[in-house]
Amino acid sequence: MISHLKLVPSGLEKRTVKPAGRLPNEKLRVREYLTAAEVEKLMEAVKANNRQGHRDSTMILLAYRHGLRAAELIDLHWTQVDFNQATLHVRRTKGSTDAVHPLTGQETRALRKLQREAPDSPFMFVSERGAPFTVSGFRRLIERATQAAGLKIKAHPHMLRHACGYTLANQGTDTRTLQAYLGHKNISNTVRYTELAPNRFRDLWKD
């Protein structure tokens, strides 16, 4: 017996269900970097409100000045600092290139004070119990500091690295030097900073 049954297209529309999760960064904030003034406000906020204000402000300062990722910051050891030469050996993650950065007077003074006051540990940034700081702990620190400083932006630790790139680009640092400073292996990751530097358009119009 021959069957006369045939397939009938379904009237149901196939839909893709997107899993619930974190919104893209562009939906959470209008820019992915902090200004130099905002970084300063964060440092002032932790100094005024945190019990370990000096440690916390030093963390923010180094992350900003050296374009450190949170994982690079919390893994800093005292052996990476040369106080005699005023240098910091920066060990990069994510396949980025290591480098030796000069330390400014402000950074050197902050680190010397931190070393005198901090618990005995090979790690630069530790808790009151002497345990190494964590990435999640630094993220919470930035979130609290953002609220205390009254910033109108949802900040996160990586914005300090971006702040470093944009500040140096705006000061006229050439792209190759900035690439080496931030440890980028691919220069296309560095170009984003020079593209948004407002100084590149200075003097295009004259009144």
Q: Is 193 a catalytic residue?
A: yes
**Residue among 55, 65, 66, 69 flagged as catalytic:** 69
Domain regions of the chain by residue span: 31-197
Let me know if 33 is a catalytic residue: no
pTM of the shown model: 0.82
Q: Is 158 a catalytic residue?
A: yes
Among the listed residues 33, 166, 181, 193, the single catalytic one is: 193
**In the annotation, is 69 catalytic?**
yes
Average pLDDT, the chain: 87
Decide if 94 is catalytic: yes
Among the listed residues 33, 158, 166, 181, the single catalytic one is 158
Over residues 123-176, the pLDDT tens digits come to 999 988 889 999 999 999 999 999 999 998 989 999 999 999 999 999 989 999
Question: Model confidence at 8, in pLDDT bands (50, 70, 90)?
Answer: low
Report, as an integer, the average pLDDT of 28-53. Answer: 91
14 classed as catalytic: no
The Cα 25–Cα 45 span in angstroms is 24
Q: Which of 92, 161, 162, 181 is catalytic?
A: 161
pLDDT digits (tens, 9 = 90+) for 172-181: 899 999 999 9
Domain with residues 31-197, CATH architecture: Orthogonal Bundle (1.10)
